[in-house]
Chains A and B, each alone.
Chain A
């Protein structure tokens, strides 16, 4: 999928649900921005509906959710379903946080493209995004 990069990649970093752990989301948002991407950070306590609305309004290629509250098996499936309903399944969904391995397998089956566990390097996340989004 790697084409000639015309425009910077647009990414939405989101925090869904009641979870307040935003250290990882903010560090990633800043690292992606420093890597030349256009980053929209939703702030805390968003619903999947709000995240999808922002993703469409901001015309992003990629949505990354950080979830450390254990609500990942509720929030990711809702997000994927809503994107499908809006015919926006081309938006690449990835995530990070405290997510057990067995759930990672299930989430990937549902269409979450990658989960970055604690201890991931920002450089790895950047290169993963670069090689997985549809470039414009």
Chain B
């Protein structure tokens, strides 16, 4: 084939041969941040045989590639949900009120390490960590103080907590009961995704099997008692931050979700009973189109698996609803104000990818927890995207792009390949026990570091365009005295409670654990009479065992 009489190419191959190959490129190869080789151009030829009806459908309809809602952001903007927490429950309560006053539409609690790992503030393992990375919550009093004066029937609350999620959930429900709020009126999300803890985030108490049991205790309990609450947020964020590629993030996250479905089905639940409330949480990284394609592929794979593998009948079971957070790992300590630009671009990708809620990182998060000012700029970034750019006016505005549809297909195919590999290993729980996903992520992280060291992956202000100018910005100082205050509080709390009731409640919880019953009913009663987070965790340690890091490099 040759070009037509006007000298125009008739095919992509011809264009490359006649036109493009005569040009010079800047680099030898063009790779995405996930090591994907990128060609120069996509045309209709790349989508030959593409069945738009089957692959895309319409927004709000199966397979939901173009979005889970028909109106998307014309009906309702995404929820702007900034993750916050530090110091005492009172400190965080004040930050929550500040964020709500500035137009934030949902709350998201960051807990400190002792709360996440199951230690009361006066435990030796809590030394130096109380209130530093999030808020310290060990008792019902702490939970009540955290949400004091906040209308829990109006605001949805997200809690990022996993190994101790059953305890946080019980504290939340018990606190709501004290305020005369009905469980089935409470809307929110608890992260409660233990598989990704073993894969990436590494916050645990007991080994994978009992941990997955506890995760599914919440799923089961909420399906029957708190139908508006998302009992799990199946999370790729931490997997990606630990070094995974976009495809690994997607595949491992969906495979985690499948493992929870399998566990719930084995308890005799029907898929449509709990699947509509499974929610997701993905990272949104620097490679703009790859990220958008990832969200679209995620929805299509999930819908297809739910329908075809699990025979779901409800469309709500097939809808992948997701929260997203901009990539913390992409932020730089050097020239930190540059992070505002990174976050804006990543947030734009999340919106074009059709997410339901979004956290934008603050510019100072590689230095410390965010200051009030930095947190406000991050929130304003979302408001600018929503109100000024026009991208919220059209549903899935990039749908049909040769490049994006091709990329969505490729990411879908590669993720499915991983999912099938994990199926062959016996599912994600078994794969995690053998360390398979952990190893894959370590490899990718090392590969990324090597590309950074060699300069192939540019990071502006770090390995390119760096300067010696001092770029100081204000950072948040968390008062070290908070540790002592929280220790005194928990000690006084234990003094005040009715020991008889506490002993009985602990014994009943232990029985529930030993008998393999759902722990939630007895746990809510236990925390209500004053059993602390550390004490419940000790029960888990003694009955379910203690997990220690295999320390693989």
Contacts and interface: CB of A to CB of B under 8 A. Distances in A.
For chain B, the bracket of interface size reads: 35 or more
Given A45-B548, A70-B478, A26 B553 contact: yes
B463 interface: yes
Nearest to A41: B553
A119 B334 contact: yes
B203 interface: yes
A23 B445 contact: yes
B368 interface: yes
Interface in A89-105: 98, 100-101
Contacts of B243: 23, 27
Nearest to A99: B367
B114 interface: yes
Contacts of B132: 69-71
Interface in B518-549: 548-549
Contact of B449 (A41, A44, A100, A122): A122
Nearest to B462: A119
A45 B333 CA distance: 25
Interface residues of A, number: 35
Contacts of B202: 20-22, 44
A18 B286 CA distance: 29
Contacts of A23: 241-243, 329, 445
Interface in B346-383: 366-369
A30 B450 CA distance: 11
A43 B124 CA distance: 19
Given A70-B478, A122-B453, A75 B128 contact: yes
Given A70-B129, A70-B369, A118-B333, 18 more contacts: A17-B113, A18-B113, A18-B116, A18-B126, A18-B129, A23-B329, A26-B446, A27-B446, A27-B449, A30-B442, A30-B446, A43-B549, A43-B550, A44-B549, A101-B367, A117-B334, A119-B332, A122-B449
A31 interface: yes
Nearest to B365: A98
A100 B129 contact: no
A80 interface: no
B201 interface: yes
A17 to B, nearest CB: 6
Nearest to A72: B128
Contact of A100 (B126, B201, B475): B475
Contacts of A56: none
Interface in A103-133: 117-119, 121-123
B119 to A, nearest CB: 8
Interface string A32-57: 01000001011111010000000000
B212 interface: no
Nearest to B332: A119
A121 B453 contact: yes
Nearest to B243: A23
15 contacts: A17-B128, A20-B197, A20-B203, A21-B202, A23-B241, A23-B243, A27-B445, A41-B553, A44-B551, A69-B133, A70-B129, A119-B333, A119-B459, A122-B453, A123-B453
B113 A39 contact: no
A62 interface: no
Contacts of B203: 18, 20
B113 A43 contact: no
Contacts of B242: 22-23
A45 B114 CA distance: 12
A26 B368 contact: no
Given A75-B128, A119-B459, A41 B551 contact: yes
B127 interface: yes
Contacts of A74: 127-129
Interface of B: 113-114, 116-117, 119, 124-129, 132-133, 197, 201-203, 241-243, 329, 331-334, 366-369, 442, 445-446, 449, 452-453, 459, 462-463, 472, 475, 478, 480, 548-553
A54 B203 CA distance: 23
A73 B128 contact: yes
A45 B163 CA distance: 15
Contact of A30 (B133, B550, B553): B553
A121 B128 contact: no
A24 B385 CA distance: 33
A83 interface: no
A74 B126 CA distance: 11
Contacts of B113: 17-19, 69, 71
Contacts of B480: 73
Of B202, B329, B475, chain A has the most CB atoms within 10 Å of the CB of B202
Contacts of B116: 18
A29 interface: yes
A67 to B, nearest CB: 10
B163 to A, nearest CB: 10
Given A27-B449, A71-B128, A118 B553 contact: no
A32 to B, nearest CB: 10
Contact of B125 (A18, A30, A31): A18
Nearest to B478: A70
Contacts of A43: 548-551
Contacts of A118: 331-333, 366
Contact of B553 (A19, A33, A47, A121): A33
